[in-house]
Amino acid sequence: MRKICVVTNSRADYSRLKTLLESLKKRRDVELQLFVIGAHLLSTYGNTVKEIERDGFTVTYKMHTEIEGRVPVTMAKSTGAAIAELANAFYNFKPDVVVVHGDRYEALSAAIAASLMNITVAHIQGGEVSGTIDEHLRHAITKLAHLHFPSTKLAAKRIIAMGEVAKNVYVSGCPASDILLRAPKLSFEELRNKVLPMVRKEEWKETFTKDFLLFLYHPVTTEFDSLNSHITETLGALKEFPQSLVVLWPNIDAGSGHIVPALKEFDRKEGARVGLFDNFSFDTYANIMRHARVIVGNSSSGIREACYFGTPVVNIGSRQEGRERTKNIIDVEHDKKAIVAAIKKQLSRGKYKPEHRFGDGTAGERIAKVLATVKLPNIQKRITI
């Protein structure tokens, strides 16, 4: 029986791994190991390991790997701590394959530890292009990985161009699309009934109407010194609109320490129209994206997931630079006037035609089948170009 270890670090990558975990759990030829690290275990980010357990998965191992600080040096130290913790866990549980997703430093930690221990590494969503440190980490993970599961043919082409063996590259689609396509379609009233019990501010309950905007903004670690001015310009633009706001906490990357105080101050000054949240279940979040008038910020969900609902997006700055685009996105720089103009344009435009660009709803099952049955590649890699 093949031992397959999946490493998850946050609410974001869990949504892209959930259907894979479901498919692996069903298989009789697989022993599923699930390692939970990073933001999943932090109360300030919703302690989302509880969501994993509520979904019926057995967590094999929990690892506290985050060092407080939210600055570049603590992000580097957290990477080192995760390598040490994961190496110990891999030694004890002896997986045949370690599965990592995306471009996070936690995923890099798992890929480094597994690679150094001669364990096959499988990488989901490699071959993409973006801004910030994610670009560096994603391609580094690709070069450490043996099996590749890109979301699109273009991403697969890039992986092969990096010297990876073509037969080890499987275009699977993005597993997040599986969740999006099966998420129940809630009416606004049904969504409202789910969201209101979670709100921290009683007066926001009166302002949360169908006219709301969704705002998500994460730090760009390679622009650490500019974060204060960037978030100031962005929040300054949002002040120009009367709509109620659903605002999500940023991720734990270096620089979130600049963004969080700015969000708290914005929340205090803007009063009843701001609802600040640390986490939603993915079904609830999918319906928030479905119903939002416009999604504003720099999250990958605006680039990769909003298109499934045709929701207009205003993408700010360089964090998603180079990613494959759908028609519902307007890109702007960190300039208050430009952001205001883009939001107004998207509000006026309304919904776009939905696009299923990044998967057809079967990615998790496809990946699980390959992981369980493929002859594992030689652990010694060779450049093929």
DSSP secondary structure of 246-258: EEEPP-SSTTHHH
Would 85 be classed as within a structural domain? yes
For every residue of 106-143, DSSP letters joined together read HHHHHHHHHHHTT-EEEEES-S---STTHHHHHHHHHH
- Write down the pLDDT at residue 170: 98
Would 146 be classed as within a structural domain? yes
Count of C-beta atoms within a 10 Å radius of residue 31: 16
Does 144 share its domain with 198?
no
Does 253 share its domain with 139?
no
Is the Cβ–Cβ distance between 232 and 202 less than 8 Å? Answer: no
Is the Cβ–Cβ distance between 298 and 281 less than 8 Å? Answer: no
Does 328 share its domain with 205?
yes
User: What is the count of structural domains for the chain?
Assistant: 2
Would 219 be classed as within a structural domain? yes
Nearest to 214 by CA among 328, 291, 321: 291
Does 25 share its domain with 170?
yes
Does 309 share its domain with 217?
yes
Q: What is the DSSP letter of 222?
A: G
Count of C-beta atoms within a 10 Å radius of residue 69: 13
3-state secondary structure of 3: strand
Domain span at 168: 2-174+359-373
Does 122 share its domain with 198?
no
Would 227 be classed as within a structural domain? yes
Would 354 be classed as within a structural domain? no
Would 385 be classed as within a structural domain? no
Does 318 share its domain with 259?
yes
Residue 304 sits in a domain of what CATH number?
Answer: 3.40.50.2000
* pLDDT tens across the length of the chain (385 residues): 999 999 999 888 898 999 999 999 999 999 999 999 998 988 877 888 999 999 999 999 999 988 887 788 998 999 999 999 999 999 999 999 999 999 999 999 999 999 999 999 999 999 999 878 888 999 999 999 999 999 999 999 999 999 999 999 999 999 989 988 999 999 999 999 999 998 878 889 889 999 999 999 999 988 988 999 999 999 999 999 999 999 999 988 888 888 999 999 999 999 899 999 988 888 999 999 999 999 999 999 999 999 999 999 999 999 999 888 999 999 999 999 999 999 999 999 999 999 998 988 999 999 999 999 999 999 999 887 7
Nearest to 315 by CA among 209, 217, 220: 217
- Write down the pLDDT at residue 132: 81
Would 310 be classed as within a structural domain? yes
Does 207 share its domain with 165?
no
Supply 95's token pair: 């997986």
Does 138 share its domain with 234?
no
Does 228 share its domain with 294?
yes
Would 119 be classed as within a structural domain? yes
Does 79 share its domain with 225?
no
pTM of the model: 0.85
Does 121 share its domain with 268?
no
- Write down the pLDDT at residue 71: 85
